[in-house]
Chains A and B, each alone.
Chain A
């Protein structure tokens, strides 16, 4: 069973790549379902924003406390604002948002698409001369990918606020001092890294949940299996991509 793990993973990746090609092909050739896209985007943001804000707030606070304890060791507490925000932008923010997207939106979307597949709704759409991939999948795919960037912005803002509050609580560092460190320690490269990571995470979350839902197995068990696959594949994708991007970033920066 252990040996089967790698070829299965490779096959899954290949299938996702093929599905991505279908989505991009539909995106280019078919008219965009604008109403669908707008409503899906609103739904994704509505569902993910509250949880992302809460998670971001407390995560920013937690890391601020831990970094403070470490910096205090050699008297560099005053750079806490810069360090915490930089770490949140480069690593924690994108990963946390990807995790939230996978957990809330990913599971829901794959369940929704799988239910439609299993109850023949997708075939009904084909019978009406419609293009189900273009009508259902493309809007959801774009909505999740784009919302990742929106969530990143909001998530980072609240993580700064959370870090700020925690810094005041634990180390008596005032807000001005905290924020003054930001421009010094955050460069364009880190921001670019954050944006690229979030975009790639969003794209992968979208691809994984849409593929598993749209092409799920038949029968009611197919829905459950689609959701479980989405959860597991999302986690692996987050870890692998984060590692690769961080490695590349380090290679490029030195």
Chain B
């Protein structure tokens, strides 16, 4: 379980997160929604220690992690794996090296098997054959995003965090990615947090949703609870989702 307690974050004079408090239960697909600029991505970055927070605490399974050192976060990130919005693959290396970046300390056979498994899991099984000869620049954007997911999967983390996984993708690929996320959560028993502004697919694929506005949480609940919400901003989002 992840808990944010009154977390505040500012970039210089600009406040991004303001007294943000919410709970993310384990073993579910949890969506963090909201308009652009409301601090959703920053919340994920603070969670994994990529950004330091200014006030408040973040807890993982009851343990405070927000003040950890970079070295401690390095260990934590193997259980809390963030898949960023841009695939950011290393373009000078082939796909095999990219996918197995986090597991270089294992023997070759284990790395190869893990790579194959993860590629199958993200629906790119056909690339396994020429994995060491293919480079990121030869892939489409959607394929690169899947490789980035496979890269994080290879670490076998407890938590997978997705920052805008479908932004910039066509509707069909969007559904495929959300289905993939759902499969990863169910079949591989991972806890998943997804930051997105796709309310419609969040209602369809998520177990729980939270809405952020002006750096604070304004609503949280299951899809049904959200649909029944009386909060004006939430109703606005729901209206747009239907449209």
A residues whose Cβ falls under 8 Å from a Cβ of B: 112, 116, 119-121, 123-131
Contact = CB atoms under 8 A, between A and B. Distances in A.
A124 B88 contact: yes
Contacts of B50: 123, 126-127
Interface in B87-141: 88-92, 101-102
Contact of B88 (A112, A119, A129, A130): A119
A116 B101 CA distance: 15
B75 A129 contact: yes
A124 B102 CA distance: 11
A152 B13 CA distance: 51
Given A119-B88, A120-B88, A121-B90, A127 B82 contact: yes
A206 to B, nearest CB: 19
A128 B86 contact: no
A131 B77 CA distance: 11
Contacts of B83: 127
Given A121-B90, A123-B50, A129 B84 contact: no
A58 to B, nearest CB: 33
Contacts of B81: 127-129
B155 A129 contact: yes
B74 A120 contact: no
B164 to A, nearest CB: 13
Interface of B: 48, 50, 74-78, 81-84, 86, 88-92, 101-102, 148, 151-152, 155
> What 3 pairs across the A-B complex have the smallest Cβ distances?
A124-B88, A129-B77, A128-B102
A127 B74 contact: no
A252 B152 CA distance: 57
A123 B48 CA distance: 11
B155 to A, nearest CB: 7
A126 B77 contact: yes
A123 B101 contact: no
Nearest to A31: B105
Nearest to B77: A129
Contacts of B152: 127-128
Given A126-B50, A127-B50, 12 more contacts: A112-B92, A119-B86, A119-B88, A125-B101, A126-B77, A127-B77, A127-B84, A128-B77, A128-B78, A128-B101, A128-B152, A129-B77
Nearest to A33: B104
A130 B86 contact: no
A219 to B, nearest CB: 14
A128 B84 contact: no
B84 A130 contact: no
A128 B90 CA distance: 13
B108 to A, nearest CB: 13
Contacts of A125: 101
A124 B74 CA distance: 12
Contacts of A124: 84, 88-89, 148
B58 to A, nearest CB: 16
A123 B45 CA distance: 10
Contacts of B89: 121, 124
5 contacts: A116-B90, A119-B88, A120-B86, A121-B89, A128-B81
Contact of B78 (A112, A116, A121, A129): A129
A140 to B, nearest CB: 12
